[in-house]
Chain A
Amino acid sequence: NAGVTQTPKFQVLKTGQSMTLQCAQDMNHNSMYWYRQDPGMGLRLIYYSASEGTTDKGEVPNGYNVSRLNKREFSLRLESAAPSQTSVYFCASSETGYGNTIYFGEGSWLTVV
Chain B
Amino acid sequence: AQSVAQPEDQVNVAEGNPLTVKCTYSVSGNPYLFWYVQYPNRGLQFLLKYITGDNLVKGSYGFEAEFNKSQTSFHLKKPSALVSDSALYFCAVSASGGSYIPTFGRGTSLIVHP
Contact = CB atoms under 8 A, between A and B. Distances in A.
B43 A99 contact: no
A58 B99 CA distance: 11
B49 A99 contact: yes
User: Which interface class (under 10, 10 to 19, 20 to 34, 35 or more) fits A?
Assistant: 20 to 34
Contact of A98 (B42, B96, B105): B96
A40 B106 contact: yes
A85 B10 CA distance: 26
Contacts of A97: 100
Contact of A42 (B43, B51, B94, B105): B105
Interface of A: 4, 31, 33, 40-43, 45, 48, 58, 90, 92, 96-107
21 contacts: A33-B101, A40-B106, A42-B106, A43-B104, A58-B101, A92-B44, A96-B100, A97-B100, A98-B94, A98-B95, A98-B100, A99-B49, A99-B51, A102-B34, A102-B44, A103-B46, A104-B43, A104-B45, A106-B43, A107-B41, A107-B42
B107 A42 contact: yes
Contacts of A58: 101
Contact of A101 (B46, B100, B101): B46
Interface of B: 9, 32, 34, 36, 41-46, 49, 51, 90, 94-96, 100-102, 104-107
4 closest Cβ pairs, A-B complex: A42-B106, A104-B43, A43-B104, A99-B32
A100 B51 CA distance: 9
Main secondary structure of the interface of A (DSSP, over half): loop
A42 B100 contact: no
Which among A42, A92, A97, A105 has the highest number of chain B CB atoms within 10 Å? Answer: A42
Nearest to B97: A98
